[in-house]
């Protein structure tokens, strides 16, 4: 097709479940492109000689090349091209904030809408998996070096894939009973089906990565013990401890951290209670405090668990909400309501100790604060009570001290996160590297993967020079 | 999978002891710490305390009371069966040291299983240890012989007077505190009301009192906050900050309410289990 004609093709939407239907089931929201739609969308790519999109990707996926394979109809080749740089394309195609990364730098976006790179990535990866075309890549000869990887979230999975290909022995130690980290306990089934995570983990195992679950590093074994029989250690343990507001009544029954609420539903499958043993509060009126992606995931989970009303309570305005536009859009379509410029003051409970309401105060925006966003200021006398029987606090996390507590020579920053070189992941301790949320604080899946990639390169260099 | 190698049923079938292969946990476990287990793929994660560990065999011993679906399910398992997951040791170990006066270890019900390794720790550290253990009735009493072996003086109480002192552990505790002015530490472990009353008993005597809390947990590594309790007006996570706290600072009433959070679901789950296994 001529260049002109390409530009006339509009950005292709991804078919998805009707909002009214999907608000009551845990099935994935979008169905994904079929082959025809994918090829139509792929044709929009200009195949730039100096592709800006690649610069926007934290792991530098060879975007024009994989899209070209889709145009040509060689979908498996597209997937293999993706996997050169991104070990988890089916995951990233679903949860990456492409609008701030590759798609934000796509040249088409200047005049019209950018190429739907994320949707194409998802399509290629799904095609390969669903058609059993996944092949084990060529492996370097064994080096005899052993690497311990702590945690099995996106940073660790990326690093494990890279290092096993380079011929090192890789053993992942996971604290929970299932590998995948936040991909398994945090992101809900309707946004990232767990079968996809399982397939990615299975792929790593087929390449030879060993995974030991139920190992809480810092408790079951220490870093120093790991260093006795491993040549290097990577810490990709995630951020950990949930933040609370420290408001009166916060320990009433029915008040959850988003971590707990999502872990119960996602990892423990509480949405299938009593088939699964773990229960979860089936609130009628649910309030979610915060407006990030995790808040949206919590709100949408509450809807699917049968809530009649679900309200996002956020102290700033819509413009400042940290969640991806797509997540906010999906939540709103499904019926989640927004109480913006509203902040909780205290929680109110009944005599059984259950939450029955939340006293809130209205806010207005003042001058910008250090984050550059306008500072919310309470409007005196605007207090009101919001009735609710379940509250989910989704305000982010802080560093988990489990590992630092038993590793005194590991240097931390002021906020308790592990100090690591941003280019290599090298920590203050010989042979120990770190990456992902435990270094940066809560961030995204792809940033953690980028950190895993850099640390894998640095560890490889370290091992080969030893 | 974690294989069960031995099983004992105690207290008229209401309390069960399992010895489970978990070499890594056994190697690291210290008095006061706990494990989380999951019986099978659909099971919940529950915290339980270890009564013993055997380094040579690589096993740990757990003791639990059958109170709901998960513990009932556990109780049906036999040697040769396996648990899906055993995770630990978790929580902070008991800070055991030598005091220049007696330590009193008070245990009620299955709390004695938690108390036993701590009592042994205090004894091994060279302390004079007085034990007080109680149960509703004689047949529900557990670990009497074991506790005798690690205390200088063991008192036994039963609520119905079928054995030992007729009354509560707190009666005996109060009596000893009145007689012995040199008591330096009290450890109280058992049902929440019992721990609350142990603390009330020791408060006027100004004796430091440690309790071990067993709230609802999910991951038990600090990630979820299900186990939060108020201690001295501050929220603490039992899984990483505890399980032991200064009993005089603990908000027991809040803990009681939080423990009842899923009482309806627990009932439902247990009923379904009983129907299936009838």
Of A185, A263, A279, the CB nearest to B262: A279
Total Cβ atoms within 10 A of residue B181? 9
Q: Kindly identify which residue of chain B lies nearest to residue A185, measuring between CA atoms.
A: B219
Cβ–Cβ below 8 Å for B87 and A214: yes
Cβ-contact B85, B14 below 8 angstroms: no
CB-based contact A277 B69, cutoff 8 Å: yes
Using the beta-carbon criterion (under 8 Å), do A259 and B38 form an inter-chain contact?
no
CB atoms within 10 A of CB A375: 15
- pLDDT at residue number A3: 60
| Backbone phi and psi for residue B163, each to the nearest 5 degrees, phi listed first | -165, 140
Residue A353 in contact with partner chain B when CB distance is under 8 A: yes
State the Cα–Cα distance between residues A286 and A337, nearest whole angstrom. Answer: 10
Best probe of the B interface among A151, A248, A251, by most B CBs < 10 A, is A251
Number of Cβ within 10 Å of residue B182's Cβ equals 9
* Of residues A244, A254, A269, nearest to B225 (C-beta): A244
Alpha helices in B60-190 (DSSP H): 69-76, 111-124, 144-149, 169-179
Over the stretch A384-407, which tens digit does the pLDDT of each residue have?
A: 999 999 999 999 999 988 898 889
Kindly tell me the number of DSSP H helices and DSSP E strands found in chain B: 9, 16
| Three-class DSSP category at A65 | helix
Instruction: Please indicate whether, in this complex, the C-beta atoms of A242 and B89 are within 8 angstroms of each other.
Output: no
Name the residue among A290, A232, A304 with its Cα closest to residue A257. A290
A175/B contact by beta carbon, under 8 A? yes
User: Nearest CA to CA, how far is B52 from chain A (Å)?
Assistant: 16
Q: Under an 8 A CB cutoff, do B85 and A177 touch? A: yes
- ipTM of this complex prediction, to 2 decimal places: 0.95
Read off the pLDDT of residues B252-273 as tens digits, 9 standing for 90 and up.
999 999 999 999 999 999 999 9
User: What phi and psi values does residue B146 have, to the nearest 5 degrees?
Assistant: -60, -45
Phi, psi of A412 (to 5 degrees): -115, 160
The Cα A300–Cα A332 span in angstroms is 9
- Cα of B129 to nearest chain A Cα, Å: 29
In whole angstroms, what is the distance from residue A167 CA to residue A143 CA?
5
B218 vs A contacts (CB less than 8 Å): 260, 263-264, 268, 278
Q: Is the dihedral of CA A11, A17, A20, A25 positive or negative?
A: negative
Interface contact B221, partner A, CB < 8 A: yes
SS3 state of residue B135: strand
- Quick one: A361 exposed, middle or buried, by C-beta within 10 A (0-12, 13-18, 19+)? middle
Q: From CA A21, how far away is CA A33, in angstroms rounded?
A: 20
Question: How many CB pairs lie under 8 A apart between chains A and B?
Answer: 118
Q: What is the per-residue pLDDT for A281?
A: 95
Query: Which of the residues B219, B255, B270 would you substitute to probe the A interface, choosing the one with the greatest number of A C-beta atoms within 10 Å?
Result: B219
Nearest to A253 among B24, B45, B258 (CB): B258
Containing A445, the helix (H) or strand (E) segment is helix A445-465
Task: Determine the residue among A214, A283, A349 to mutate to test chain B binding: the one whose Cβ has the most chain B Cβ atoms within 10 Å.
Answer: A214
Residue B183 to chain A, least CA–CA distance (Å): 32
Give the per-residue pLDDT at B49.
86
* Neighbouring residues of A288: CB distance < 8 A, sequence distance ≥ 6: A258, A295, A298, A299, A302, A310, A311, A312, A313, A391, A392, A394
Q: What is the pLDDT of residue A5?
A: 67
- The pLDDT tens digits along chain B (278 residues) read 999 999 999 887 889 999 999 999 999 999 899 999 999 999 999 999 888 899 999 999 999 999 999 999 999 999 999 999 999 999 999 999 999 999 999 999 889 999 999 999 999 999 999 999 999 999 889 999 999 999 999 999 999 999 999 999 999 999 999 999 999 999 999 999 999 999 999 999 999 999 999 999 999 999 999 999 999 999 999 999 999 999 999 999 999 999 999 999 999 999 999 999 87
Judge whether B162 is closer than 8 Å to chain A, CB to CB. Answer: no
Can you read off the two tokens belonging to residue A69? Answer: 């394979």
Distance CA A363, CA A376 (A): 6
Interatomic CA distance for residues A117 and A54, integer angstroms: 11
Question: Which of A220, A242, A250 minimises the CB distance to B28?
Answer: A220
Residues of chain A with pLDDT under 70: 1-7
Q: Do B224 and A219 touch (CB under 8 A)?
A: no
Q: Among B25, B86, B222, whose Cβ lies nearest the Cβ of A240? A: B222
Which residues in chain A have Cβ-Cβ distances shorter than 8 Å to B69?
277
Between positions 28 and 87 of A, the ones with CB within 8 A of B are none
Residue A329, helix vs strand vs coil: helix
B224–A242 C-beta distance less than 8 A: yes
Distances (CA, A) of A164 to A140, A183, A227, A336, A459: 8, 21, 18, 44, 12
Check residue B75 and give its pLDDT: 94
Sign, CA dihedral B25-B31-B34-B39, equals positive
CA distances from A377 to A322, A339, A360, A364 (A): 18, 15, 13, 5
* Residues 6 or more apart in contact with residue A130 via CB below 8 angstroms: none
User: How big is chain B, counted in residues?
Assistant: 278
């Amino acid at each position: 097709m001529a260049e002109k004609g390409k530009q006339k093709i509009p950005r292709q939407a991804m078919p998805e479940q009707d909002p009214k239907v999907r608000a009551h089931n845990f099935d994935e929201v979008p169905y994904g492109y079929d082959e025809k739609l994918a090829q139509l969308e792929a044709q929009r790519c200009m195949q730039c000689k100096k592709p800006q999109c690649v610069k926007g990707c934290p792991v530098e996926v060879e975007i024009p090349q994989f899209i070209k394979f889709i145009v040509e109809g060689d979908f498996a080749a597209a997937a293999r091209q993706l996997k050169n740089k991104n070990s988890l394309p089916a995951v990233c195609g679903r949860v990456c904030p492409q609008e701030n990364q590759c798609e934000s730098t796509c040249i088409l976006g200047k005049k019209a809408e950018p190429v739907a790179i994320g949707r194409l990535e998802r399509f290629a990866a799904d095609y390969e998996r669903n058609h059993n075309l996944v092949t084990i890549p060529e492996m370097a000869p064994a080096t005899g070096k052993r690497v311990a990887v702590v945690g099995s979230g996106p940073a660790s999975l990326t690093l494990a894939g890279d290092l096993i290909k380079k011929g090192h022995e890789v053993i992942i130690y996971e604290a929970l009973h299932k590998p995948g980290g936040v991909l398994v306990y945090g992101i809900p089934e309707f946004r990232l089906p767990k079968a996809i995570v399982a397939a990615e983990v299975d792929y790593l195992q087929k390449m030879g990565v060993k995974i030991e679950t139920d190992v809480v590093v810092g408790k079951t074994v220490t870093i120093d013990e790991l260093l006795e029989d491993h040549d290097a250690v990577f810490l990709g343990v995630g951020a950990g401890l949930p933040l609370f507001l420290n408001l009166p009544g916060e320990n009433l029954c029915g008040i959850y951290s988003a971590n707990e609420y999502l872990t119960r539903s996602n990892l423990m499958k509480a949405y299938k209670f009593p088939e699964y043993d773990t229960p979860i509060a089936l609130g009628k009126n649910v309030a979610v405090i915060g407006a990030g992606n995790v808040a949206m995931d919590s709100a949408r989970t509450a809807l699917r668990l049968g809530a009649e009303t679900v309200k996002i309570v956020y102290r700033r305005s819509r413009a400042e909400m940290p969640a991806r536009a797509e997540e906010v859009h999906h939540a709103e379509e499904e019926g989640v309501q927004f109480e913006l410029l509203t902040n909780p003051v205290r929680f109110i409970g009944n005599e059984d100790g259950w939450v029955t309401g939340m006293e809130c105060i209205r806010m207005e925006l003042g001058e910008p604060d250090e984050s550059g966003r306008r500072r919310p200021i309470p409007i005196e006398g605007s207090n009101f009570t919001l009735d609710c029987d379940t509250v989910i606090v989704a305000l982010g996390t802080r560093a988990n001290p489990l590992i630092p507590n038993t590793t005194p020579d590991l240097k931390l920053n002021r906020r308790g996160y592990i100090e690591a070189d941003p280019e290599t992941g090298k920590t203050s301790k010989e042979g120990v590297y770190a990456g992902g949320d435990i270094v940066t604080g809560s961030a995204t899946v792809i940033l953690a993967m980028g950190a895993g990639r850099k640390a894998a390169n640095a560890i490889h260099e370290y091992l080969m020079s030893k | 999978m974690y294989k069960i190698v031995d099983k004992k049923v105690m207290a008229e079938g209401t309390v069960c002891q399992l010895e489970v292969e978990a070499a890594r946990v056994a190697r690291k476990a210290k008095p006061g710490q706990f494990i989380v287990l999951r019986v099978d793929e659909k099971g919940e994660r529950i915290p339980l305390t270890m009564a013993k560990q055997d380094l040579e065999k690589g096993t740990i011993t757990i003791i639990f009371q059958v109170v709901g679906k998960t513990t009932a399910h556990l109780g049906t398992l036999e040697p040769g069966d396996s648990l899906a997951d055993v995770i630990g040791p978790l929580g902070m170990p008991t800070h055991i040291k030598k005091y220049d006066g007696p330590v009193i270890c008070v245990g009620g019900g299955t709390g004695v299983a938690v108390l036993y390794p701590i009592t042994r720790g205090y004894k091994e550290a060279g302390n004079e240890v007085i034990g007080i253990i109680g149960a509703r009735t004689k047949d529900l009493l557990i670990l009497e012989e074991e506790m005798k072996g690690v205390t200088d003086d063991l008192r036994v109480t039963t609520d119905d007077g079928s054995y030992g002192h007729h009354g509560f552990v707190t009666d005996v505790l109060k009596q000893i505190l009145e007689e012995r002015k040199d008591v330096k530490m009290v450890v109280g472990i058992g049902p929440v009301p019992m721990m609350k009353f142990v603390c009330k008993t020791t408060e006027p005597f100004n004796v430091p009192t440690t309790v071990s809390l067993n709230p609802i947990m999910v991951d038990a590594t600090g990630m979820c906050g299900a186990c939060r309790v108020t201690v001295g007006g501050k929220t603490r996570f039992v899984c990483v900050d505890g399980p032991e706290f200064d009993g005089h600072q603990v908000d027991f009433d809040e803990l009681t309410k939080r423990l009842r959070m899923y009482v309806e679901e627990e009932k439902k789950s247990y009923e379904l289990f009983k129907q299936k296994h009838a």
